[in-house]
Structure 1
Amino acid sequence: MKKIILLVLLLLSEPAQAQKIYVSDDASNDVSSDKELPIELKYKTYYPDWSPLEWNYSCSKDKFNGQKSCSLNKSHSNIMVSIFDGQHSVYVGRDHYPRSQSAIKVDSNAPIYGYEGSSDTPKKVIEQMKKGKVAYTRYREWPYDYNQDGEVDLTGFAEKYNEMLEKYREL
């Protein structure tokens, strides 16, 4: 019988305070506590298809209109790359200050600017990210009107981006 391991993070007002591993049986969807796990799994954190240090993507297809979408990002980074109904986008930051400029700079390339987080030339940014080592970001977050700068390691980006595109095609 195939088992699925789920990680549940209990979030309080501070960062994750506790982690608990559960096992779910595919057929019945019964969930049991970690007491039934083998000893080698009881004290390890397991991420089935997600890693906080790696690039991760998610894809979906709207059941009503058939629109497909995928997004790719790295946990705790200021960059998200997505494709929605055939259109690519690169998004920098969050909660943008109204009418503010944002930018991304890959390695020593010239900065590429956008408006409130959206890149004006997403395909150009994506091509640079696929070949690059590090991306630098800048945006202005509401309610503060000063630069929020970030740096994101691009290791593994090209492979995950190509994997995401393949999943998008399969939807």
Structure 2
Amino acid sequence: MSDALFINSSLITLDLSENNLTGRILDWISTLPALSVFLLKADQLNGEFPIHLCRLQSLSILDLSQNKLSSHIPSCLSNLTLKPRREKSYDRSTSYFVLSLSDEVIVDMGLRIYNLIGSSEKVEFLTKGARYTYKGNVLELLSAIDLSCNQLKGIIPPGLGNLSEIRGLNIT
């Protein structure tokens, strides 16, 4: 997948789940300043946990579950604010983009942020064996990290317990 495809400062949602992507998560992801939702669930990604994801200061939802990521969970994840998207300030004169290339190929381009409510955005979380799908307005309120079903090892960074805005954390 070409890096040039995603060099877009207005991309707020990137869903590449269930595409059998292989290799590691590329560094250019951290150059997306408005990225709020980043979903790479159930691909074949491997290698060390990508520390450059800690630079995504607009992030609300991160799902890297069901991959083959190894090493430890970096303590820098504790520095993310993980504020729900409705609490973030966006320039209302700018168009923001949603790109979803998950199991049902959907590409939404040119939508203004206030028109994204109720669009094709959806997030699925697995918690204690139950699968929950969130879409529409609830995504404006959600902040979560799902790193489950990887090959992570080591201690859980103590700072993860201090993420006061987070609503869901799965590291099983």
Q: State the TM-score, normalized to the length of structure 1.
A: 0.23
Q: Which protein has greater RCO, CA pairs closer than 8 Å, 6+ apart?
A: 2
Q: State the TM-score, normalized to the length of structure 2.
A: 0.23
Q: Rg bigger for which structure? A: 1
